[in-house]
């Protein structure tokens, strides 16, 4: 039996896939959606082959803290455990929900310590649904750290959808200005010189399209500031991982091109 080209390591609810034959592979962070763990993308997406051929290591963190036993943390699928929304909570009860800092600050340091072969200075970021929201907002707030961003069916305007309003009101309180700091549609208006186009794939049969995801709002905001966006509406596709598996190679290629510049 041939030796596997992939090294799979689980560390602190983190899944990392690295081609062991690569030298200094570059990093692509993947942020998953509501109810997901660090395993969903690695098991279901089929991204490993394309990532290996492009010299990219896939980094997939968990979607929230776990095991803290905060009252109410598991009462619903769209808030609490599995629903960190990649922000830093400001409300005392949820003070440990700081997934923004985990992804942007702690995770790169963790990778440096445990995977020194990775080139953590050259990274990109992608995600699905809530994770697409996280990828876009983290990218827009840290253009010096990420070469580009992409997303599948992202929540691009959370201040105007039920998922976002529920999460933000509980994690951040009632100040709507604080909400806007984690809303890609609000953030894009501040940027006029993105170095790479943002790629978004959205299925037209996604049941969350019109009330939760609102890609047209983000597209309109990008057009106002001439921000480069490739929004692809994919006929017949829904919100599932079959959708992601179909187009993930395009996203890997998108990031590979940006990382090599």
Whether 98 is covered by a domain: the verdict is yes
The count of domains in the chain is 1
In angstroms, rounded to a whole number, what is the distance separating the alpha carbons of residues 34 and 166? 13
Whether 60 is covered by a domain: the verdict is yes
- In degrees and rounded to multiples of 5, residue 231 shows phi and psi of -100, 115
Structural domain containing residue 170: 6-260
In angstroms, rounded to a whole number, what is the distance separating the alpha carbons of residues 85 and 104? 13
pTM above 0.75, yes or no: yes
Cα end-to-end span (Å), the chain: 37
In angstroms, rounded to a whole number, what is the distance separating the alpha carbons of residues 147 and 175? 31
* Helix or strand run (H / E) with residue 160: none
Torsion of CA 163, 78, 31, 17, to 10 degrees: -160
Whether 38 is covered by a domain: the verdict is yes
In angstroms, rounded to a whole number, what is the distance separating the alpha carbons of residues 106 and 129? 23
Whether 233 is covered by a domain: the verdict is yes
Is the distance from CB of 33 to CB of 130 less than 8 angstroms? yes
Whether 216 is covered by a domain: the verdict is yes
Per-residue pLDDT of the chain (261 residues; tens, 9 = 90+): 222 223 333 344 566 665 555 667 899 999 999 999 999 999 999 999 999 999 999 999 999 999 999 999 999 999 999 999 999 999 999 999 999 999 999 999 999 999 998 988 889 999 999 999 999 999 999 999 999 999 999 999 999 999 999 999 999 999 999 999 999 999 998 876 777 899 999 999 999 999 999 999 999 999 999 999 999 999 999 999 999 999 999 999 999 999 987
Whether 1 is covered by a domain: the verdict is no
Task: Give me 220's structure tokens.
Answer: 């309109």
Half-sphere exposure of 35 (CA within 13 A, CB side): 6
Read off the CATH number of the domain in which 168 is found: 3.40.50.1820
Is the distance from CB of 155 to CB of 132 less than 8 angstroms? yes
Residues marked as catalytic? 129, 206, 239
In angstroms, rounded to a whole number, what is the distance separating the alpha carbons of residues 238 and 112? 37
């Amino acid at each position: 039996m041939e030796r596997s080209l992939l090294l799979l390591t689980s560390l602190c609810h983190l899944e990392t896939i690295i081609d062991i034959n690569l030298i200094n592979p570059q990093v692509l962070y993947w942020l998953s959606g509501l109810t997901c763990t660090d395993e969903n993308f690695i098991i279901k997406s089929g991204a490993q082959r394309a990532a290996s051929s492009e010299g990219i290591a896939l980094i997939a963190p968990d979607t929230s803290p776990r095991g803290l036993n905060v009252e109410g943390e598991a009462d619903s699928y769209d808030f609490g455990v599995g629903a960190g929304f990649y922000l830093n909570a400001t409300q005392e009860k949820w003070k440990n929900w700081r997934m923004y800092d985990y992804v942007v600050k702690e995770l790169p340091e963790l990778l440096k310590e445990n995977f020194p072969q990775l080139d953590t200075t050259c990274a990109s970021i992608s995600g699905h649904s809530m994770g697409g929201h996280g990828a876009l907002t983290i990218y827009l707030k840290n253009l010096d750290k990420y070469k580009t961003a992409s997303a599948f069916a992202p929540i691009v305007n959370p201040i105007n959808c039920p998922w976002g309003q529920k999460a933000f009101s509980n994690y951040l309180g009632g100040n709507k200005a604080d909400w806007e700091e984690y809303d890609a549609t609000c953030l894009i208006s501040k940027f006029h010189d993105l170095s790479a186009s943002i790629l978004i794939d959205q299925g037209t049969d996604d049941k969350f399209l019109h009330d939760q995801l609102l890609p047209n709002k983000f597209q309109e905001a990008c057009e106002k500031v001439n921000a480069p966006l490739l929004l692809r509406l994919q006929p017949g596709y829904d919100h599932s991982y079959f959708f992601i598996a179909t187009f993930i190679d395009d996203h890997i290629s998108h990031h590979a091109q940006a990382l090599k510049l």
